[in-house]
Structure 1
Amino acid sequence: MKKITYLFILFFTISIHAQNQTFYRLIEHVEKTPESEAKDIGTLSKYLAKGAKTKKELVQLIYYWIALNIEYDTEAFQNNTTGDVSAATTFLNKKTVCSGYANLFKEICNHSKIKCDVINGYAKGNGYKGGFLEQTNHTWNVVKMDDKWEFIDVTWGAGECYEDMNGKLTFKKKLCPRYLLESPEDFILEHLPENPEWQLLEEQITMDYFFSKEMELKRLDKNGILIN
């Protein structure tokens, strides 16, 4: 029994070490992107592909590049003046809101021959104080990995927004891989697609249940917020 436990711990340690090595290798490739390789989306897509050994790594590279290079436009969000959120404009301005992040992610995936879609829906992000949302408020992606779809939220992966005492939002860049290829079971705790088919669950949940106290407790538990 002790031998089995030791082998399990050894395997787990080696696995974590390998994952960390992969992460730093991919981040290094992104951070060393030459200006000449980021002059347009097509050129960038080819550069990112050079750093990927697998399809999964290419998706990770796309996520990391966008998260590290695109800033959230808090002013446009607060003033409801999002303007042009196309992939091309987002890439050019390096600043956008959630739909711009999602459109750019999809466009780079298109260039990389990765099947991807943009999803609109309801999300319990920064500033969510509980209760029912009357309108959709967020946009994210799904990508086809082998034979299954997995979720991407590169907006939330890029950083966090903080509201000061005067109600002004400030964006702080902070790379978060947590929303990269997340499972439907975890993703649904904070994201409800407008089209129920994109829940990708064996049993779809209703909007009422998404905003229920039970789901809110699950979300808080996921985020490490303990409720006594």
Structure 2
Amino acid sequence: MRNKHNYNRRSRKRKQKRGKKKSRFFPLLILVGFLVFNHYANPQWRSPLEDKLTYENIISFINSFNFRITSLKSLTQEFITEFNEPIVIGDINTLDKTKFSDIDNKALAIQYSGNSASELANMLSQYATTDVEKARIIYSWITHNIAYDVVALNTFMNYNIYPDVTVKSVLDNRQTICSGYANLYQQLAQNMGLKSVIVIGYAKGVDYAVGNDNNVNHAWNGVQIDGKWYILDPTWGAGIINNDRFEKGFNDFYFATAPQNFIYTHFPENNKWQLLNTPYTRNNFDNLPTVSHHFFSNNFELVTHKNKNIIADNVVNITLKAPQNIVAITSLQSNDQEIEGQHTFIQRQGELINIKASFPERKNYQLKIFGSTPNQENNYPFILGYDINVNRQTNQEFPFTFSHFSEHNGYLESPVQKQLNPQQNNYFKLRIDNAIDVKVFDKSSNNWTTLTRYGNLFTGNVEVSRGEVIVYARFPGDRNFWGLLRYNH
């Protein structure tokens, strides 16, 4: 939201401004009262108005006059619009993180039921002496003890009524929205002798619309540690919103986040709080792909397609970089509906992950990429997303890949289409780490064809009939053959 206030004004001037707001609001009350009176005094008006004079529409009517009941910026306490000292950007790799786990446990054990920032700061100070310990214990206590108020968020988004985000209210209720988190962090930091700022701007969360720069939608913090500045977001560190409900979950990623990673999701109104030597523009920020913190915690990197919007005239080939123990999977969707068929294909070359995507129709798609190290639950978090506008349908489908293909860094050179040529030779060429034997099984004819091995490369011509064809591999110390790829006609 645009800055409508100068926060260095004296309280007398603030009172005068509040008086002006009341005088602006009084004519609106008269107008609304007039509409309500006529609704009941004139029956002929009731038919067109009986479903319209609701509380929601009155609020909407008032807002149409650009009247703000209150705003994120105006209710963010101690908001610092200017910081005149030179800003020295900190290096997160130099922070002593060895005591973070111990600090987090101590923060979790601190029980405080009051509503005073100074009292709470005194309690936290008993367990933190250095700047980094103080900054960390404040972050940890807030994220473990303050829940996100989804009801208040919805009320604000629907009716423009902002909740009480003062420190006293936050500590009384133990729930708030972003500016309440930022206020509390700011007050605790100041009481513990740390320099801190509240940063407001745009965050790619539930209420962010690309290109809509009318109102800022988020608040977070900067904190000075040993003379250098770092950024953090206690709101996002406390948990997530899922199906309109807050799910508590401590997230370490948003404490002293690397600025080059933070910019993918947070764009400050004041560019200097990007803490980047070369700041991004708003347009740069809007065009970045949608990423989650798992993208960075799993050490993914973008190699190609560094903007989120892709215009496709053919098969799209996206390349990422990630450690070789990372598994990636994809989902191609349109209007939140999964596209049926094998329209994505993932394979590896060393640390490079290549993702192919084809499209059955000319329309808009969303390509979502998930990834992490293999786990027994087969739970792979979202890491990256693209919006794809398709000008020409390709309608190519790819073979189905089994888990052993990705787990052993499989890379298929041919054939890459799901449909094989029946009653003629099809040339197979693939790499698969650690395999000692690769065979192609034609299910219809019950024929097995062994491919020729050259190290981890396997090749050969295979004549197939119509039906299902599966590529299997055998690995050292295991007599079983495991599926790699499946083709269908």
* Same-fold call, TM cutoff 0.5: yes
Kindly report structure 1 stretches of 4+ aligned residues shifted beyond 4 Å: 217-221
Match of 1:204 in 2: 279
How many residues are treated as equivalent by the alignment? Answer: 201
Higher RCO, 1 vs 2 (CA within 8 Å, ≥6 residues apart)? 1
Over 3 Å counting, the alpha-carbon distance change for 1:219 and 1:176 in structure 2 is closer
- The answer on 1:60 being equivalent to 2:136 is yes
Map 1:1-228 onto structure 2 (within 5 A).
Answer: 19=97, 22-35=99-112, 38=114, 40-80=116-156, 81-126=161-206, 131-134=210-213, 135-163=215-243, 169-212=244-287, 215-216=288-289, 221-222=295-296, 225=383
Which letter maps to 2:249?
K
Q: Normalising by structure 2, what TM-score?
A: 0.38
Q: What is the Cα deviation at residue 43 of structure 1?
A: 1.7
Contact 1:82/1:96 (<8 A) preserved: no
Unaligned stretches of 5+ residues in structure 1: 1-17, 164-168
Contact 1:82/1:97 (<8 A) preserved: no
Which letter maps to 2:238?
A
Which letter maps to 1:133?
N
Contact 2:207/2:217 (<8 A) preserved: no
Contact 2:115/2:169 (<8 A) preserved: no
Which letter maps to 1:41?
A
Match of 2:86 in 1: none
Which letter maps to 1:77?
L
Q: What is the Cα deviation at residue 147 of structure 1?
A: 2.6
Unaligned stretches of 5+ residues in structure 2: 1-95, 298-370, 372-382, 387-489
- Partner Cα separation in structure 1 for residue 210 and residue 123 of structure 2: 44
Which letter maps to 1:191?
H
Which letter maps to 1:70?
I
Q: Normalising by structure 1, what TM-score?
A: 0.79
- RMSD (Å) for aligned C-alpha atoms: 2.4
Over 3 Å counting, the alpha-carbon distance change for 1:39 and 1:192 in structure 2 is closer
Over 3 Å counting, the alpha-carbon distance change for 1:226 and 1:86 in structure 2 is closer
Judging by fraction of residues, say which structure has more helix: 1
Contact 1:119/1:139 (<8 A) preserved: yes
**CA deviation vs aligned residue, 1:12-59 (integer Å, no higher than 9, x gap):** xxxxxx95x7233212212222447x5622121111111124210111
